[in-house]
Chains A and B, each alone.
Chain A
């Protein structure tokens, strides 16, 4: 059916998304402060008992998720708590879901009780007063079960707006066969990485060190890894500096590969990209720790070739960043927030649930699972018997926790192609693209009622 892939329709839907999101944000500015107030509430010891009571009493919940194990987790939950009925709805992947969620919130009805929201979008929903502060329901006491970086991502302005489902510390995945063929050592610094990009592409012009056609979900974690802090959010005051030291550090390094054409112009997640992963076109991908499971499941041609290494550093400092990852949040429209919170608590902290999640290939955010010897010892055939989880878990401990996303990050990502994306298509200086992006974000933020500082 031609309509399904007609780009106009997609663009139109994006326009609606942005339109309604704008409507949501207008009301958001008032909400931001109340959110901050609510966040100052202390964890309530009686709240945990209330949640247990809600589970006993039962009720019905709707849960929006695109996690493959979502259905199985809900089934296990209902077996354990027969009085509760959870309806799992796949309302779309990532931004498709956010559009629907934002529309339902703007319309005042139709939102689920619990929704999967990626970390980068969580702040946007939290600050527009759409989510329940889980501190008020006693979930703040779960803090020590999670990695510091994922906990930081669900904490906004002192409130707790979700529980971490998974994490995605950046690592380097590389094609051992390609490296061996061209005599390239696994790069440990970005300088070595750039050198490897040159060696490889010169030796075989059909191969590239990696692909990057311009993806905000990739660039921002890289800026994060480079030590950048382009966004600072304090209530309704936002400061944006996409030319700070870390941002420039990344852009200058990446320019060395972008400008000479050493990066494959293949959009991540496109059919070409999946193809390139299997046929030795790409020598590495810099990606989140959730990627090995996907690679093993969907790129059978890559079996035995791929390995995992820590992300290259700038100066030997092993600091890395989070790439992707989701939380589960309770939506304010929920008629039974206690029950919804109890479900989220079970979903992302109980042994029964996390086990189902891990079996489907997910990468956890809970320290107990990350440090489980059985998990660490796993040596999948696909990765040539490498104990990949040791590398991944080490990365998860090296994530810096001081990164903040914008309270209008979904919009920000949607205009990335028009700004930084231009630098990608013209293979020109990324710094100029970042400046253009910043200008766009500053004027958008101001128009939404934020005080924006540059």
Chain B
């Protein structure tokens, strides 16, 4: 292959292509810098999760300590305070499965409906959704808190799940994706064959939409997994805390009159907390990539 390329004048003239971009030392350096930027915190987290609290205080941050206590730390993380960490992990999973799962389902249904059906108020609805994309969830947290408090829903799992069900960005993404990937002719053919709209959606469209759905699922899973501010103000009972708020509580335990620092557990708990999300990411990565490029090329 290499040899035939070098003797082909056309290839020689176009030595650079999309798959073989020109080499740039500056760009490579920048990329290496970014790689460090992204990896160093993870490396730090792993290294320090192997230390006892004593080692944490007495050794350099990016070097291993005198002991390798990763397993002890993991066991202690899961058993501290009657295994509250496991409960928090379960809560996070609950919020992710019901909240992010529900958000994906709703976004898919609504985005698809908006893309493929004409009905009165459609553009007004769409404008509201687009506007909602621009409002950060943090800004809505306090009004939501007061609202939920009136409804008596604060300090319950619903106060986390219900707001998580709404993903305007996911809806928008599915809308765009549907326009590109579900040909209206296909739907018409299905209708001619006598399929109901629901059946068409669940047997035909949903398969075409899979990459888009997975992309939205990833977005909402990550958002729900990392959700901090909403549960922070909604929940007061640690039994319902997700990992984010729970770990913060462990961290703040190091201060005050009854201080009981457990920095090693905070660090190990954080390491354990990112493992599932990394796994999900690696597993669904290929869908994510194809989903992101949706709509970028006119076919």
- The chain A residues found within 8 Å of chain B, CB to CB, are 1-6, 9, 12-13, 16, 19-20, 64, 66-68, 89-94, 96, 99-100, 103-104, 107-110, 118, 166, 168, 268-271, 274-275, 278-279, 288, 290, 294, 297-298, 300-301, 324-326, 362
Determine which of A103, A271, A326 lies in contact with B257 in the assembled complex, contact meaning CB atoms within 8 Å: A326
Contact residues in B for A12 (Cβ distance below 8 Å): 138, 229
Cα(A92)–Cα(B150), bound, Å:
23
Cα(A33)–Cα(B146), bound, Å:
27
Q: Decide if A269 touches B251 in the complex (CB within 8 Å).
A: no
Q: Decide if B256 touches A94 in the complex (CB within 8 Å).
A: yes
Cα(A93)–Cα(B243), bound, Å:
17
Contact residues in B for A90 (Cβ distance below 8 Å): 238, 249
Determine which of B138, B149, B259 lies in contact with A298 in the assembled complex, contact meaning CB atoms within 8 Å: B259
Tell me whether B126 is interfacial, beta carbon within 8 Å: no
Cα(A107)–Cα(B274), bound, Å:
34
Contact residues in A for B256 (Cβ distance below 8 Å): 66, 93-94, 269, 324
User: Which 4 A-B pairs rank lowest in CB-CB distance, beginning with the nearest?
Assistant: A107-B149, A269-B255, A275-B57, A91-B236
Residue of B nearest to A94 (CB): B256
Q: Decide if A100 touches B236 in the complex (CB within 8 Å).
A: yes
Q: What are 19 A-B contacts defined by CB distance under 8 Å?
A: A4-B228, A5-B251, A9-B138, A9-B228, A13-B229, A68-B258, A68-B260, A89-B238, A92-B236, A92-B252, A93-B252, A110-B154, A269-B256, A274-B254, A278-B57, A279-B57, A298-B259, A298-B260, A324-B256
Tell me whether B261 is interfacial, beta carbon within 8 Å: yes
- How many A-B residue pairs lie within 8 Å, measured between CB atoms? 133
Q: Decide if B155 touches A110 in the complex (CB within 8 Å).
A: yes
Q: Decide if B253 touches A93 in the complex (CB within 8 Å).
A: yes
Contact residues in A for B41 (Cβ distance below 8 Å): 2
Contact residues in B for A288 (Cβ distance below 8 Å): 257
- The chain B residues found within 8 Å of chain A, CB to CB, are 41, 54, 56-58, 138, 141-142, 145-146, 149-150, 152, 154-155, 225-229, 232-233, 236-238, 243-245, 247-249, 251-261, 263, 270, 273-274
Q: Decide if B244 touches A3 in the complex (CB within 8 Å).
A: yes
Contact residues in A for B257 (Cβ distance below 8 Å): 118, 166, 168, 288, 290, 324-326
Cα(A92)–Cα(B260), bound, Å:
13
Determine which of A107, A168, A270, A325 lies in contact with B145 in the assembled complex, contact meaning CB atoms within 8 Å: A107
Q: Decide if A1 touches B232 in the complex (CB within 8 Å).
A: no
Cα(A103)–Cα(B142), bound, Å:
10
Contact residues in A for B261 (Cβ distance below 8 Å): 271, 274, 298
Q: Decide if A103 touches B237 in the complex (CB within 8 Å).
A: no
Q: Decide if B232 touches A13 in the complex (CB within 8 Å).
A: yes
Cα(A359)–Cα(B203), bound, Å:
66
